[in-house]
Structure formats: C-alpha cells, structure tokens
Amino acid sequence: MKVLIVDDEKHVRHAIRMLVHWEACGVTEVIEAESGDQAIEVITALSPPVVLTDMRMPGKDGVALMEWIQVNSPATRVVVVSGYDDFELVRQVIRRGGMDYILKPVDPVEINEALTKATQAWQTAEQDRNRHTMQAIEVNRMRPHYADKLLTELVSGTANTHLSITPLREELHLPAAIHMCNAAVMSTTQLDADILDKYKTRHTLLGFSLINICNEFLGNSQTGIAFRHLERMDEIILLYWGEPSRWPLLLQDIHTGIRTALRCYMHIGIGSFGAFPVTAATAYQEARQALWKRDVLQAADWLHHSSLARQAVRLPQLPEMEEELRLSALSCNASRIAAAAGRWISAVAELPSVTAEQLVGWNQELDWMLARWLNDRPGDAAGEELADEHGSIPALPVDNRGLLSLPLWQKQVENRLLAAGQALTPSHSPSNPVIRDIARYLDAHYDEDISLQDMASRFYLSREYISRKFKQEYGVNLSEYLCRIRMDKAKLLLLNDKLRLHHIAGMVGYQDEKYFGKVFKKLEGITPGEFRKRHSVDPQPLTHTAHDLPRHH
C-alpha cells in the first residue's frame, strides 16, 4: 500500500517518516510532495490509498487539495497534520471527508492510530467495492448471452446484418433511427503485469468490471453498448451510434473512469464512422488494428487511430539467433542466458518503433522455437511444448502505462530459456527440478484458485508438458495432487468445531461448499460433517491413507 505525505516543510515530512510504524500499517511505499499541486500529480499517477497532508501550503492548500480528492479520487483517505488549532479548518476537514486532524508537533501515538484507522477504512471500502462488483457479476451471469452473441456476429461480419438487426434491436432496445456507428476496442492482454497479477484468479471479474464501467457511460448517454467478443475473450468492444463529435469526449470519460475504478491505464483502438449496421464489422477491424499496431516504445496518447502509417523497417529475426539461444538454454547458466537474451532485446531496442502486434509475433516465434527443441529431443515423445499454441495471447511485457518494458521482457525471455534448458536436461538429475518447484508452489498456495493453465503461465511450460511430467514425477496428475493437499488441510481444520464448513471450504480453495463436500466424500468415503462427528466423539490421530501422495524433498 502507498501513502503520500504532503507538506511544504521538509523536516516535517522527515519527522512523519521517522515516527510512523509503516510496516505495521501495511504500508510498502511512502511518497512525498511539497505542495497541493504536486500532490495532485502524484495522486493522478500513483493513486495512493492514504494521504497525510498539511493545511497551509503555497499554491493549492490542504482545503483545495481535499476538494480535488473528493471529486477525482473519492476512495482516497485523508489525514490532516496541521500546526493550526483552528475550528474552521477542522470543520472544513470534516466536511470534505477527512479521517483525522492531528496538531504539530506530531504525537507518535496519535499519528500511528490515525494512519491505522485510515488504512483500515480504505481496505474495508475496497472489500466493499469488490463485493459489490462480484454481486454485479452474479447478476450479469444470470442474463442470457444472446445479446453478446448477436453483437459478436455483427462486428465479426459473420451475420446477415439485414436479418439480424431486428432481434438485436429488440434485445438491446436500440433507438429506432440509427444512421451512423463506430467501434472501439480494448484488450486486457495489453494491461501491465501488476493489474493482471491482481486479477490472476479473477479474470472474469476484470472483464466484467471493464464492461460495467464502459456501459455506465454509454448507458447514461444511450448512445452505445460495451460487450465482450465471444471468440476473443481478452477483448472489450464498444459499439457507438451517437453523435460523432461526442465520441472522443465519451471515450475520455470512460478512460478516466477505468483509471479511477481499477487503477490501470487502458489503451483503446478506434475505428471510423460508417453506415449502421453494415459498416460495424469494418469499424471493429479498424479499431482492433489500431490497438495492436500502436507503438509500444513511444509515450503516445492512450487513444489510437487506424489511419496512422508506420515506416517500414527490417525487424530483427529471432531464428538468426536460435543456435546461440539454444546453447545458452542448454547451459542452464543464468549469466549466459542473460547475455544471449540481452543481445536480442538490444536489437529490438534499436528499432524506431515496435507495435504490440510485433511483440506478440516474437513471443509466438519463441514459443515455436522452444517447442521444436523439445520435439527434436532424442528418446522422448513428440508433441511436447513450452507454450500452448491454442491458448490465449500471453500478457505483454509492458509497464503501468502500457509501454514496452525492456527489463521485464528480458526477464521473461530469460525465464523461458531457463525453463527450456531444465526441461531439455532432466535426465542428468534423479528428478525434474521444475516439476518439484511446481509441487512446492501447490503446497504453499493450495488455498488459491489454481488451474493447470495458471501453472503453465507461471512456469513458462505448456499444460501438456506439466501434466505428463508431473504424472511421471509423483504418480498422479496435478489436480489430484492439489486435491489431496486440500483434503489433508481440511481434515485438520474439521477438528476445530468452531469453524463452519463453508469457512473451511474457502480456507482450502473451494468457493462452493457443496462441491467441497462432494470432493471430500469422493476421496475420504464420508462427508465432512460425518468426519467431524466421528473425530469429535472418538478423537484419533489422523493418519495418511494408502492413496496419500508422495511428497518432494
């Protein structure tokens, strides 16, 4: 969690830094600003959940800063640290949602108590926001996907627009007279690693959140609709049929809304206007092309048009470096792998521009190259891969503004080469170190929503490779291994009569209590309730059954 200290006196900022027990409050980063104007820049860029601010400062004072926060960052919690014992100032702080008013010189107990209260208030509000979002998702799940199907067909050009427009009008209650339309496209794949990691087990939540934000603005103006492309699940499409002159302003509001609600920077591709409904597919293709052909090296705008021409340049060819990369991978030497990957990244860095589409292409080339190395390995079964050719496009190595991060990309390439090297040379050791690392991860994260695809993405291996090697290493597949860990933990938790069954289910990674009970009975032969009753009446030490799994060392 980030906290911003705003005070024009450096010694006051330093004193607050020294007095507050940051780690106890869950604070990982402390930022400073010398004025209200500078604080607004920091809040806009970094969205700190808590602000500690002085009241009397040059330029925008504390009151003006709080007024701005109320309008532009309402989730932010504010604690005032002031040298003025002024009732009017206190009243202004209360009116603008301030959490506390602390007088200088700062008392250590007071400042720590105030910060604890502020961080807890923000966390509680954040949980409420997530809960409300989840409730909205559940409501949306109950609605049929008929409209999304019709809209996907419309923008994909697979529908007869003259025949399908009638049911579409009825389903969406479209205005009777729509003459022009345009489309915009955004992709969750182009978000930075931090936001994707935050939603790594809640991909659906991220998509629904984006759609809900877009539809809040489009619905208020009754000029469009946002939906998910059913064949490209990373894409959110905005179909607009309102006044062309209002379209850029509406997109600006949507972009700001996404930044405020989700704290992420979303790039949007935009098409051109044409007759509705026949040009909807063309507008969508233009918008999608604009998004994927955007330059990820330049700090350009977030809105991208398809009309921008790119200068033709010779791109670095990954196959030209294949032998060097393969030898570095086989060495399993981190320094050698870093040097080989660095030469490739340096060649890309010399380009005048790089598109998101080109990044995806290079990642796919690397996938195919690594897969071929494994397929060509003597004495092993064919078809083994390090990347899922039929899976979704992998997340791009971009920073929090959607621009290419060369250090992040180099690290990703290094990790994949190292994983390839370890996969290519398992016969040199009595067991497979990568698979044992996966097992350790399962042991530590059994309470999370984990899938085989999650492990493939995290360890840079294909689902097929992990499944086959895991079975060879442990005698069971990955899901069975994870299930046994969860059941062993559940049996221990069931000995505590104060824990309710739905709490235990959640603690071992199951959101559905009934499904947890079904799995438990299948493995243990009795229901969780029967297990608890049996052991509470005649307590006996738990022993591992014959089907318990071998553990790694």
How confident is the model over 454-463, as pLDDT tens digits?
888 788 777 8
Contact 276, 178 (CB under 8 A): yes
Report which of residues 129 and 108 the model is more confident about.
108
**CATH assignment at residue 99:** 3.40.50.2300
Q: Are 243 and 189 in the same domain?
A: yes
Structure confidence by residue, pLDDT tens digits, 155-183: 988 766 555 677 777 777 788 788 899 99
Q: How far is 94 from 496, CA to CA, in rounded Å?
A: 45
- Give residue 430's pLDDT band: very low, low, confident or very high (50, 70, 90): very low
Q: Are 395 and 326 in the same domain?
A: yes
Q: Are 436 and 422 in the same domain?
A: no
C-alpha torsion 267→271→273→277, nearest 10: -110
Structure confidence by residue, pLDDT tens digits, 310-327: 666 678 888 888 889 988
> In the predicted model, what is the mean pLDDT of residues 471-477?
86
Q: Which residue in the block uniquely carries the two structure tokens 């399962």?
A: 442
> In the predicted model, what is the mean pLDDT of residues 142-158?
76
Give the per-residue pLDDT at 499. 83
Among the ranges given (79-93, 234-248, 288-302, 511-525), the one the predictor scored with the smallest mean pLDDT = 79-93
Give the per-residue pLDDT at 2. 92
Q: Are 153 and 300 in the same domain?
A: yes
Among the ranges given (139-148, 197-206, 356-365, 396-405), the one the predictor scored with the smallest mean pLDDT = 139-148
Contact 62, 55 (CB under 8 A): yes
Is 137 part of any domain?
A: no
Contact 413, 345 (CB under 8 A): yes
Q: What is the tally of structural domains in the chain?
A: 4
Is 156 part of any domain?
A: yes
- Give residue 547's pLDDT band: very low, low, confident or very high (50, 70, 90): very low
Give the per-residue pLDDT at 378. 53
Is 180 part of any domain?
A: yes
**Which range marks the domain in which residue 76 is found?**
2-125
Query: How large is the greatest C-alpha to C-alpha distance in the chain, in angstroms?
Result: 82
**For the chain, how many helices (H) and strands (E)?**
22, 11
Q: Are 295 and 167 in the same domain?
A: yes
Among the ranges given (128-137, 154-163, 186-195, 406-415), the one the predictor scored with the smallest mean pLDDT = 154-163
Q: Are 186 and 206 in the same domain?
A: yes
Give the per-residue pLDDT at 543. 41
**CATH assignment at residue 510:** 1.10.10.60
Contact 210, 191 (CB under 8 A): no
At position 429, the amino acid (one-letter code) is S
Domain final residue, candidates 398, 428, 458: 428
Domain final residue, candidates 409, 428, 447: 428
Does the pTM of the predicted model rise above 0.85?
no
Residue 384 tokens, joined:
């083994």
> In the predicted model, what is the mean pLDDT of residues 139-144?
51
Distances (CA, A) of 369 to 29, 322, 323, 374, 394: 40, 8, 10, 9, 16
Q: Are 419 and 403 in the same domain?
A: yes
Look at residues 442, 533, 452 and name the one whose alpha carbon lies nearest to residue 482.
442
Structure confidence by residue, pLDDT tens digits, 278-311: 899 999 999 999 999 999 988 778 999 876 556 6
Cβ atoms < 10 Å from Cβ of 403: 20
Domain final residue, candidates 95, 125, 155: 125
Residue 190 tokens, joined:
């182009």
Q: Are 155 and 285 in the same domain?
A: yes
Give the per-residue pLDDT at 242. 92
Q: Are 184 and 300 in the same domain?
A: yes
Structure confidence by residue, pLDDT tens digits, 219-272: 877 899 999 998 888 899 999 999 999 999 999 999 999 999 998 899 999 999
H-helix or E-strand spanning residue 127: helix 108-142
* DSSP per residue, 285-312: HHHHHHHHTSBSSS---SEEETT-----
Look at residues 356, 362, 364 and name the one whose alpha carbon lies nearest to residue 386.
364
Q: Is the pLDDT of residue 277 over 70?
A: yes
Give the per-residue pLDDT at 188. 93
Q: Are 436 and 421 in the same domain?
A: no
Q: Are 393 and 436 in the same domain?
A: no
**CATH assignment at residue 261:** 3.30.70.270
Q: Is the pLDDT of residue 141 over 70?
A: no
> In the predicted model, what is the mean pLDDT of residues 545-551?
44
Distances (CA, A) of 227 to 171, 240, 392: 14, 12, 18
Strand 274-275 relative to strand 180-187: parallel, antiparallel, unpaired?
A: antiparallel
Is 86 part of any domain?
A: yes
- Give residue 542's pLDDT band: very low, low, confident or very high (50, 70, 90): very low
Cβ atoms < 10 Å from Cβ of 88: 9
Is 133 part of any domain?
A: no
Instruction: Give the bridge partners for 82, in sequence order.
Output: 103
Is 117 part of any domain?
A: yes
Q: How far is 23 from 13, CA to CA, in rounded Å?
A: 17
Contact 518, 524 (CB under 8 A): no
Among the ranges given (263-267, 399-403, 495-499), the one the predictor scored with the smallest mean pLDDT = 495-499
Q: Are 37 and 63 in the same domain?
A: yes
* DSSP per residue, 200-256: TT-HHHHHHHHHHHHHHHHHHHTSEEEEE-TTSTTEEEEEE-S-GGGHHHHHHHHHH
Give the per-residue pLDDT at 88. 74
Give the per-residue pLDDT at 100. 85
